[in-house]
Amino acid sequence: MSKDNAVTVKNVFKNYGETEALRDMSLDFPRGELTSLLGPSGCGKTTLLKIIAGLLPATSGEVIVNGQIVKEPGPDRAFVFQDFALLPWASVIRNVAFGLELRGVAKSERESIAAKYIGDVGLKGFENSFPHELSGGMRQRVGLARALSVDAQVLLMDEPFSAVDEQTRRKFQEDLLNLVKNENKTFIFVTHSIEEAVYVSDQIALLLPRPSRVSEIIRPTSFKNKDVDSIRRDSEYLDIVDRIWKSLRTYVE
Amino acid sequence: MKLFGYRLPAMSSLILWGLLWEIFGRLEVTYFIPSLSAIFDTFLEIAPTKVFIKAVSETGYAFLAGTFYAVVIGVPTGILMGKNRIIDELLLPWVNMFLSAPLTALVPVLMVLFGFGMKSIIIITTLFAIWIIILNTRAGVMQINRSLVDMAKSFGAKPMDAFFKIYFWAALPEILGGVRIGFIRAVKGVIIGQLLISIVGFGALFELYSSNFLMKHFWAIIIVLFAMAFTLSEILAYFERKVAYYASKRG
């Protein structure tokens, strides 16, 4: 593998007692790109993401991030949670700065970094609001700002838009495309939405369950440089969505 | 509550019961229940006396010391039990047993172990308060949102950080609920301690007044005690309401 991969998953197995969650999973995540893990529920996509994050130990096999074997969470990775995982007792600015707070960054410094990212995600003016005063979409923007502010090279996103409404979600997807283009970070994005995966990804890893495995890796080519509005009308986009659905449909009860 | 279109202030039912008491007392049905106004007069009479001030300070000291230990031991123990399965399995049967055990029966044992002084009274006060604080804290920690814990871990939180920045705050509504009930139980503990272990503080006054059939004095002390426990409980309930907004919508 001479190509530059930010994250490499090598022969990872994960068992929960008798049940096999992941069997011999191997996957490369090219640097600076967004890779989706797409699949029906029970295919182990969130499990794989948590193993990459260092939140779950693999039963065997290894995960390599920037040449280092992952044993525990590290500053090279940041996680965005499906349910946002904000501190309900803390203001937006403290939530965004919380990753830096845990790393021992001084208060004035971490708050100025946090303020910048709060502006970047479009929440300027909400620094002193509390999570319960924000909408679901705004809360996830806080979660995203928190992940960005620690300046990790790899962003791990666990179905980040599944708890927000459809319109907010579309806006998020467009913003995500710009983020990938401008931030030069590696994104690993778990989703169960086919359209979302095809829309935002440079590379889609299609996972199938029982036993959990990578069934296909798809790299869309033609619409990547088009502007956000024409992607959904692109014929390759529609073909890929169709093709993925054909592979997945037998697994959906 | 509204009555005939007027908004009644909070606790106006107390006025009604107070009036009934006053009438009942004035009818002089029994020597043991004097009228409320007479009790109040007696209270004003004994409040500035040395004996009363000494009783208040002794009781207050035992109560504060007892509840202090109950909180600083109970809250961390509860958090550890909620976090760690092994610690939980080890301690939970004991906590449940002591919560429902008649602690008064332990008083003779405490007297043998710790003597007849303030130390034993403080320990019995702690014993009355601590178990519910532990259980409530544990319950608060157990319902913590898993992804908050994952979040802290993923950003590299050390165990101490997680303990003070996540677990404690996430469980705070339940902790305060436990502390409130614990404090009310501690009032019982401190009086039982003073009656059974060494006759000091309010316990001594109870003993003195009831054995001499000074009913007005006796009731005055009881009302003072009720009022103190009630005020304390209301103050804690106020703080509980302040954090209630995130107890209902965590995440």
Q: Residue A64 is inside which H or E element, if any?
A: strand A60-65
- Please tell me whether residue A187 adopts helix, strand or coil conformation: strand
Q: What are the tokens at B22? A: 């006053």
For residues A152 and B7, what is the distance between their CA atoms, to the nearest angstrom? 58
Residue of B nearest to A103 (CA): B156
Q: Cα–Cα distances in Å, from A158 out to A126, A150, A178, B140, B145?
A: 25, 18, 19, 26, 16
Hey, which of A206-215, B4-13, B84-93 has the most confident mean pLDDT?
B84-93
DSSP B8: P
- Nearest by CB to residue B169, choosing from A73, A83, A89, is A89
The answer to whether B147 and A85 have CB atoms below 8 angstroms apart is yes
Report the residue of B146, B147, B148, B151 to disrupt the A interface, i.e. the one with the largest count of A CBs within 10 Å: B151
Question: A205 burial class (0-12, 13-18, 19+ CB within 10 angstroms)?
Answer: buried
Mean local confidence (pLDDT), B30-38: 85
Give DSSP secondary structure letters for B165-198. Answer: IIIHHHTHHHHHHHHHHHHHHHHHHHHHHHHHT-
Mean pLDDT of all residues belonging to chain A:
87
List all residues of chain B from 229 to 248 with a beta carbon under 8 Å from chain A.
243, 245-246
Mean local confidence (pLDDT), A145-165: 90
ipTM over 0.90: no
- Please tell me whether residue A81 adopts helix, strand or coil conformation: coil
pLDDT of B251 reads 41
The answer to whether A146 and A105 have CB atoms below 8 angstroms apart is no
Q: With an 8 Å Cβ cutoff, are B155 and A98 in contact?
A: yes
CB < 8 Å to A101, chain B: 165
pLDDT of A3 reads 62
pLDDT of B52 reads 87
CB < 8 Å to B243, chain A: 89
- Provide the shortest C-alpha distance from residue B131 to chain A (in Å): 26
- Provide the shortest C-alpha distance from residue B180 to chain A (in Å): 21
CB < 8 Å to A86, chain B: 251
The answer to whether B140 and B250 have CB atoms below 8 angstroms apart is no
pLDDT of A2 reads 43
Mean local confidence (pLDDT), B91-107: 89
Q: Is the pLDDT of residue A164 over 90?
A: no
- Nearest by CB to residue B249, choosing from A53, A55, A132, is A132
Residue of A nearest to B245 (CA): A132
CB < 8 Å to A54, chain B: 154
pLDDT of B55 reads 87
List all residues of chain B from 140 to 199 with a beta carbon under 8 Å from chain A.
145, 147-148, 150-158, 161, 165-166, 169, 172
Q: Cα–Cα distances in Å, from A149 out to A75, A125, A244, B178, B194?
A: 11, 18, 34, 37, 58
For residues A83 and A157, what is the distance between their CA atoms, to the nearest angstrom? 11
Mean local confidence (pLDDT), A126-140: 90
Hey, which of A68-72, A153-157, A239-243, B110-114 has the most confident mean pLDDT?
A153-157
Q: pLDDT (tens digit, 9 = 90+) per residue, A18-73? A: 888 888 888 999 998 899 999 887 778 888 999 999 999 889 999 999 888 888 88
Rounded to 5 degrees, what are φ and ψ at A4? -80, 110
pLDDT > 90: what percent of chain A? 33
State the CB neighbour count (10 A cutoff) for residue A22: 24
Give DSSP secondary structure letters for B25-89. Answer: HHTT--TTS--HHHHHHHHHHHTTSHHHHHHHHHHHHHHHHHHHHHHHHHHHHHHHHHH-HHHHH
pLDDT higher for A214 or B182?
B182
A81-105 exposure pattern, b = at least 16 Cβ within 10 A, e = fewer:
bbbbbbbbbbbbbbbbbbbbbbeeb
pLDDT of B180 reads 92
- Nearest alpha-carbon partner for B134 in B170, B167, B91, B105: B91
Mean pLDDT of all residues belonging to chain B:
87
- Give A249's pLDDT tier (boundaries 50, 70, 90): confident
- Nearest by CB to residue B246, choosing from A89, A98, A101, is A89
pTM: 0.80
- Give B64's pLDDT tier (boundaries 50, 70, 90): very high
pLDDT of A126 reads 92
CA-CA-CA-CA dihedral for B24, B25, B26, B29, to nearest 10: 70
The answer to whether A90 and A81 have CB atoms below 8 angstroms apart is no
- Give A186's pLDDT tier (boundaries 50, 70, 90): very high
What type of residue sits at position B119? K
- Inter-chain Cβ pairs, chain A and chain B, closer than 8 A: 62
pLDDT of B244 reads 76
Q: Is the pLDDT of residue B135 over 90?
A: yes
- Provide the shortest C-alpha distance from residue B33 to chain A (in Å): 50
pLDDT of A162 reads 85
For residues A157 and A172, what is the distance between their CA atoms, to the nearest angstrom? 13
pLDDT of B248 reads 54
Q: pLDDT (tens digit, 9 = 90+) per residue, A74-100? A: 889 999 999 899 999 999 999 999 999
pLDDT of B1 reads 64
Cis peptide before A40 (omega within 30 of 0): no
Q: Residue B21 is inside which H or E element, if any?
A: helix B12-26
Hey, which of A3-7, A227-231, B52-56, B63-67 has the most confident mean pLDDT?
B63-67
- Please tell me whether residue B233 adopts helix, strand or coil conformation: helix
Q: With an 8 Å Cβ cutoff, are B156 and A55 in contact?
A: no
Q: pLDDT (tens digit, 9 = 90+) per residue, B192-216? A: 888 888 778 888 888 888 888 888 8
B45 close contact with A: CB closer than 8 A: no
